[in-house]
């Protein structure tokens, strides 16, 4: 009797076979600020006051990061985010030089300066849509499906909304008002509904909270495109050599000012921000609670952190810390 082996087609998921790049990581990424055009319009003295407020908290944050790796010197990198997504102002080189000088007056070194537009499109990669495609939202119980999903509406919540009001068909029972309910609330709910984007004329504009969520994921080194890391900081000297320093679109998404800086990405992030950013960061945490990061990337970061004796929380939002410095 002849035995014939039947070899059928084999299906493999491309993502499962793709090699995931291991990106350099610091122990802590310390954000020194996130300013908009109106902040820069207040002049150089306003920048000096900003860093004077930030300096004490930055020292505390850096010391806190060092405490995460007892017995060894912590790798701490600093960064600063400029809004060039919603508005364009001044010239990139002028802004960078003013930030660098104002920070130095408070004895602060900025290692990296990033453009907020890089949280939307990063070196040709539609990174914002990449993150949007990884949003996982469970259907809310006892809802009618009247409200479209987040992929269509651009709105994301941290719980169950109040029932929609409006006219009811004849003979139908009237809708009774119910309060919104936060998922996993601590006795009382703090409900949040976050707009992720809007669209006009077929053009999508990402919201500030959504771009800030992408910013956190980039700083945590958790995003990949076809297995490759996304952030490739460009040294200041390389940018200056291009002699095109007055065009925001030609400025690198992440510029490395300090040639001796620790890696841009990190196991944990800490942001020193003015108190007006508190609602935005609440929204950021809501968004990140719904982002499904590639399992291979999460496993890789966990293994590396354990090898360094640094415990990284499984929950993404627990890797993120803040100091709100008022003002």
The overall average pLDDT reported for the chain is: 87
pLDDT over 70 at 233, yes or no: yes
pLDDT over 50 at 314, yes or no: yes
pLDDT over 60 at 302, yes or no: yes
pLDDT for residue 3: 43
pLDDT for residue 184: 72
pLDDT over 90 at 69, yes or no: no
Cα 44 to Cα 51, 109, 110, 142, 231: the distances in Å are 11, 17, 16, 54, 29
Q: Work out the pLDDT band at 146, boundaries 50, 70, 90.
A: low
Sign of the Cα pseudo-torsion (201, 252, 107, 264, in order): positive
pLDDT for residue 31: 97
Mean pLDDT across the stretch 273-291? 94
Using CA atoms, how far apart are residues 71 and 30, in angstroms rounded to an integer?
21
Query: Tokens representing 205?
Result: 């504009």
- Mean pLDDT lowest for which of 2-11, 16-25, 67-76, 223-232? 2-11
Statement: the pTM of the whole predicted model exceeds 0.85: yes
Mean pLDDT across the stretch 66-77? 81
Neighbours of 163 (CB within 10 A): 15
Query: Tokens representing 149?
Result: 């999903």
Query: Tokens representing 140?
Result: 């809310």
Residue with tokens 């995003």: 223
pLDDT for residue 97: 96
pLDDT for residue 144: 54
Per-residue pLDDT tens digits for 32-46: 999 888 889 899 999
Please classify residue 201 by burial: count the beta carbons closer than 10 Å to its beta carbon, then call 0-12 exposed, 13-18 middle and 19+ buried.
exposed
Using CA atoms, how far apart are residues 74 and 29, in angstroms rounded to an integer?
11
Per-residue pLDDT tens digits for 152-190: 888 998 777 766 555 455 555 566 777 777 777 777 878
pLDDT over 80 at 80, yes or no: yes
Q: Work out the pLDDT band at 207, boundaries 50, 70, 90.
A: very high
- Spacing of C-alpha 39 from chain mean position: 21
Mean pLDDT across the stretch 213-235? 97
What DSSP element (H or E) covers 215? Answer: helix 208-219
Q: Work out the pLDDT band at 310, boundaries 50, 70, 90.
A: confident
Mean pLDDT across the stretch 247-265? 97
Query: pLDDT higher for 6 or 293?
Result: 293
Query: pLDDT higher for 283 or 171?
Result: 283
pLDDT for residue 153: 84
What values do phi and psi take at 212, rounded to 5?
-65, -30
pLDDT for residue 10: 46
Mean pLDDT across the stretch 98-105? 97
3-class SS at 182? strand
pLDDT for residue 214: 98
Q: Work out the pLDDT band at 142, boundaries 50, 70, 90.
A: low
pLDDT for residue 52: 94
Mean pLDDT across the stretch 135-140? 75
Mean pLDDT across the stretch 197-211? 94
Using CA atoms, how far apart are residues 208 and 108, in angstroms rounded to an integer?
26
* Closest to 291 (Cα-Cα) out of 121, 137, 128: 137
């Amino acid at each position: 009797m002849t035995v014939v082996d039947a070899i059928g087609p084999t299906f493999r998921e491309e993502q499962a076979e793709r090699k995931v790049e291991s990106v350099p990581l610091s122990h802590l990424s310390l954000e020194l600020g996130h300013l908009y055009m109106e902040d820069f319009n207040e002049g150089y003295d306003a920048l000096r006051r900003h860093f004077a407020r930030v300096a004490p908290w930055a020292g505390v944050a850096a010391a806190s990061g060092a405490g995460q790796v007892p017995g060894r010197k912590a790798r701490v990198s600093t960064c600063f985010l400029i809004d060039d997504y919603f508005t364009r102002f001044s010239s990139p080189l002028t802004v960078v030089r003013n930030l660098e000088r104002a920070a130095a007056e408070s004895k602060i070194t900025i290692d990296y300066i990033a453009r907020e537009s890089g949280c939307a499109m990063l070196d040709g990669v539609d990174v914002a849509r990449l993150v949007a495609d990884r949003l996982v939202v469970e259907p809310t119980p006892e809802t009618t499906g009247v409200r479209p999903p987040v992929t269509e509406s651009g709105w994301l919540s941290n719980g169950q909304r109040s029932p929609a009001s409006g006219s009811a068909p004849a003979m139908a029972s009237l809708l009774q008002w119910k309060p919104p309910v936060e998922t996993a609330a601590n006795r009382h709910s703090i409900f949040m509904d976050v707009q992720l984007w809007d669209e006009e004329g077929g053009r999508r504009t990402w919201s500030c909270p959504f771009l800030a969520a992408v910013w956190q994921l980039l700083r945590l080194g958790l995003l990949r495109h076809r297995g490759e890391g996304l952030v490739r900081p460009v040294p200041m000297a390389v940018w200056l050599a291009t002699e095109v320093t007055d065009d925001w679109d030609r400025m690198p998404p992440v510029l490395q000012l300090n040639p001796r800086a620790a890696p841009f990405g990190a196991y944990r992030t800490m942001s020193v921000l003015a108190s007006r950013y508190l609602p935005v960061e609440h929204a950021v945490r809501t968004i990140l609670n719904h982002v499904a990061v590639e399992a291979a990337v999460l496993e890789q970061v966990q293994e590396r952190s354990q090898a360094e004796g640094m415990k990284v929380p499984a929950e993404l939002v627990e890797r993120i810390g803040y100091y709100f410095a008022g003002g």
